[in-house]
Amino acid sequence: MQPIFSLPRNYLFMKKMDYDKIKRFWDKCPEISNEAPSLITTLSFEIPGHANYRDKTEKNILLKYLEIRPDFLVADLGCGTGRWAIEFARKCRKVIACDISKPLLDIAKAEAKQGAITNIEFQQESIVDFQSAEKADVIHIGGVLIYVNDTDLEQIIEKCHAMLKDSGALILRESISLDGDLLKEDLKLGNERYTAYYRTAGHLTSRMDKLFVLEKMTETHSYIFPVPIFIYLIPRFLKKMKITEYCMRMLYAAQWRLDPWLLRIKALTALKHKRLLKTKIPATQYFFIYRKRSQNVHS
pLDDT in tens, 28-39: 888 877 778 888
What CA–CA distance (Å, rounded) separates 86 from 96? 11
Give the 3-state DSSP-derived string for 225-287, with helices as H, strands as E and coil as C: CHHHHHHHHCCHHHCCCHHHHHHHHHHHHHHHHHHHHHCCCHHHHHHHHHHHCCCCCCEEEEE
What CA–CA distance (Å, rounded) separates 214 from 236? 43
Residues in the chain: 299
> Residue 45: what pLDDT?
66
Domain 11-223+281-292 bears CATH identifier 3.40.50.150: yes
| Averaged pLDDT for residues 255-263 | 78
At 128 the three-state DSSP class reads coil
pLDDT grade for 89, boundaries at 50, 70 and 90: very high
> Residue 91: what pLDDT?
96
pLDDT grade for 3, boundaries at 50, 70 and 90: very low
Worst-scoring range by mean pLDDT, 31-35, 72-76, 173-177, 215-219? 31-35
DSSP 8-state secondary structure symbol assigned to residue 8: -
Residue, of 258 and 283, whose pLDDT is higher: 283
> Residue 37: what pLDDT?
84
Which of 88, 92, 131 lies closest to 108 in space, CA to CA?
A: 88
Residue, of 7 and 283, whose pLDDT is higher: 283
Q: What is the mean pLDDT of the chain?
A: 85
What CA–CA distance (Å, rounded) separates 79 from 112? 12
> Please, which residues bridge with residue 217 across strands?
288
Q: Is the CA virtual torsion 152, 170, 219, 95 positive or negative? A: negative
SS percent in the chain: helix, strand, coil, step 5 = 45, 25, 35
Residue, of 259 and 85, whose pLDDT is higher: 85
Tell whether pTM > 0.85: yes
Residue, of 240 and 207, whose pLDDT is higher: 207
What is the share, in percent, of the chain residues with pLDDT greater than 90? 45
Is-contact 198 176, C-beta < 8 A?
Answer: yes
Torsion angle of the four alpha carbons 230, 235, 236, 240, in this order, in degrees rounded to the nearest 10: -60
What CA–CA distance (Å, rounded) separates 229 from 251? 10
